[in-house]
Copies of this chain bind each other. A is one copy, B any other.
Amino acid sequence: MGQQIFKGNIIFAPTPEELKICAKSYIVVKNGMVEGIYERLPEEYGEEPVKDYGERLILPGFVDLHVHASQFDQRGLGLDRGLIDWLNDYTFSTESRFSDPAYAWEAYSIFADELIRQGTVRTCIFATIHKESTGLLFEILQEKGIGAFVGKVNMDRNCPDFLKEKTEISIKETEELIAQYGRHPLVKPILTPRFAPTSSEELLKAIGELAKKYNLPVQSHLSENPSEVKWVRELFPSHPTYSDVYLDFGLFGHAPALMAHGIYLTDRELELIKANDVMLVHCPESNINLVSGIMPVRKWLHHGIRVGLGSDVGASHTLAMSKAIVRAIQLSKLMKVFDPHAKPLTKPLTTAEAFYMATKGGGSFFGKVGSFEKGYSFDAIIVEDDPRITGRLSLEEQFQRFLYTGDARNIIARFVEGRQVG
């Protein structure tokens, strides 16, 4: 692809503590990777064409570490119900429709377009149990050009019969998808047991073996609400904690692992998660819609645990990671309200910290992604706003305004490894 030069107001978070703002600066990209940021373009690039975005903001594209592609259509529906009715009335019946590849092709195409429109350029996705439609999702994302880990869901117990797999077929089809889609540079397979309660011990064991055999990452759910935690203790009585189940069957430790939610964790689990470099995914909107609770993010960060952000559509009603950032900040403020004496462990997240989680923090699951430091993939979104308003605001305020009041209409271009994808 060679060399590209972009100009604009560049903002990114190289650390959770720092929002780096480079006003009217040049960013040089070589073969899709950032070479450097310059206030004045060095002479060696003097003759090169520059894509000048003027007053617009150049931000790292968003990373959504947890989303159910099949649930996109049910956003916002039935949220007065409790979790179990919501699963039965909406989630499971929606997922069953993905046995039809034609339906899956249409639904996944709409999902992918909306994901990109919202500025998400890297994502970790739960598909459904269905091999053929999951294959279509790989192909759609390859064609759209964004980065993704895509997981065929494995589930062989404690679910409706129409979504229950035979253990050996679940594993066989998972391996077939790995064989078919395992070599693409941007869209890759990830092992995806739904969660411990819908997995037999045989299934978990076999998935752990696949992780080792193919050196594949793993994603699942962990400790989303208290009754789920209790259920896991009943289903796996010989395991001291929920996390021990995943550890014991080889899902922690062999390969990178991503666990959605992680709200109710014991000290032992925090140690296991840290020792095995498991990344937790905070999904604030989902956690309030489903009455799950609030992840004590500050406390987990204090323990040295890596935390990224996820939309968790459909339990959340929006794919916009800007909204996940705002909601993460808001929930961290509520932690302080409810436990004002636990300072500094309830200090609210700053905007920079939450933005870091949705860019470089989550991006680390993909490699050098989510920042504009040298060597990082040029994954970016270009943001514009009404110049009559932004003219009165500092660049940091324009950035805050986009996160809080902006939406997909403010994003005028999206890039992955230097290639424009929307």
Contact = CB atoms under 8 A, between A and B. Distances in A.
Nearest to A226: B340
A44 interface: no
A293 interface: yes
Given A79-B400, A294-B337, A334-B294, A317 B351 contact: no
Given A317-B404, A317-B405, A404-B317, A291 B337 contact: yes
22 contacts: A73-B392, A75-B401, A75-B405, A76-B400, A76-B401, A76-B403, A77-B393, A77-B404, A78-B397, A79-B329, A79-B400, A80-B350, A288-B334, A289-B333, A291-B333, A291-B334, A291-B348, A294-B337, A317-B326, A317-B405, A338-B338, A407-B407
The interface size bin for chain A is: 35 or more
Nearest to A349: B80
B318 A405 contact: yes
Nearest to A73: B389
Contacts of A392: 73
Q: Name the prevailing secondary structure of the A interface residues.
A: helix
* Identical chains bound together, number: 2
Interface in A291-346: 291-294, 317-318, 326, 329-331, 333-334, 336-338
Interface string A66-102: 0000000101111110000000000000000000000
B404 A79 contact: yes
B405 A76 contact: yes
A403 to B, nearest CB: 7
Interface of A: 73, 75-80, 288-289, 291-294, 317-318, 326, 329-331, 333-334, 336-338, 348, 350-351, 389, 392-393, 397, 400-401, 403-405, 407
Contacts of A318: 405
Given A294-B334, A336-B291, A389-B73, A351 B403 contact: no
Contacts of A76: 400-401, 403-405
Contacts of A389: 73
Contact of A78 (B288, B331, B334, B400): B400
Given A76-B401, A289-B333, A291-B334, 15 more contacts: A73-B389, A73-B392, A76-B403, A76-B405, A77-B397, A77-B400, A77-B401, A79-B351, A80-B348, A80-B350, A291-B348, A293-B337, A318-B405, A334-B334, A338-B338
Contacts of A403: 76
Most B-side CB within 10 Å, residue of A334, A351, A400, A405: A334
Nearest to A352: B80
A330 B288 contact: yes
Contacts of A291: 333-334, 336-337, 348
Contacts of A401: 75-77
